[in-house]
Amino acid sequence: MSLVRLNIKGISYSQTQNGAYALILSEMDGERKLPIVIGAFEAQSIAIALEKEIMPPRPLTHDLFKNFADRYEIVVKQVIIHKLVDGVFYSSIICERDGIEEIIDARTSDAIALALRFKAPIFTYKGILDTAGIYLKTGKKKSDVEKVDKDAVIEDLLFDDDKESLSTATNDYKNTTLKDLKSLLSEAVANEDYESAARIRDEISKR
């Protein structure tokens, strides 16, 4: 199965789950986006890695891992999001030391936080993107969309740990018809509510 390289498009607030964020990945040579729900700590770590000018006073967990790996000459070569089960993405970190490669299982949020620090590429399989990818539908200019998506939450993640999520409501789609789910998915994507879109997409996939 062929691999598809992904870029990090940005991080958005969770609108359905308190304390969570949606990491938006974009295929390099296409228009599909892959939303992944992550926790606040992981979102903060990824935001700091994206914002090159921000240096935490003490190393974060992922910075510590990078320092440890550098000391022992371990290099992260790439990250592969290799499986999707019940809405949960599974990832592998491909490492190398002394010419020997090792594959390490990891949460996707941790794997991406490390990939940023090692400047390692991020991949997923085409089948996963075919199943979980969504298309961005917006009338905004591409440059404007990228700026909003990438920068909207970084300041809050870095400097306002007490800020509540935009909404603490949770949505239960179990009793929603498949036809209505598809309609809700289109609406969520049109509104750039990627985290809700991801949850609706997962419910559709289960059926």
Q: What's the pLDDT tens digit per position in 11-62? A: 887 666 666 888 999 999 888 999 999 988 899 899 888 877 667 778 889 9
Q: Which of 126, 111, 154, 149 is nearest to 32 (CA)?
A: 126
- So what's the pLDDT on residue 67? 96
Q: How is residue 139 annotated by DSSP? A: S
The domain ranges of the chain are: 3-135, 169-206
- So what's the pLDDT on residue 54? 66
- So what's the pLDDT on residue 164? 35
For the domain with range 3-135, which CATH number is right: 3.40.640.10, 3.40.800.10, 3.30.930.10, 3.10.690.10?
3.10.690.10
Question: Per residue in 108-145, pLDDT tens?
Answer: 999 999 999 999 999 999 999 999 988 865 444 444 33
Q: Binning pLDDT at 50, 70 and 90, where does residue 94 land?
A: very high
Tokens of 89: 């993405």
Q: Which of 90, 89, 62, 88 is nearest to 76 (CA)?
A: 62
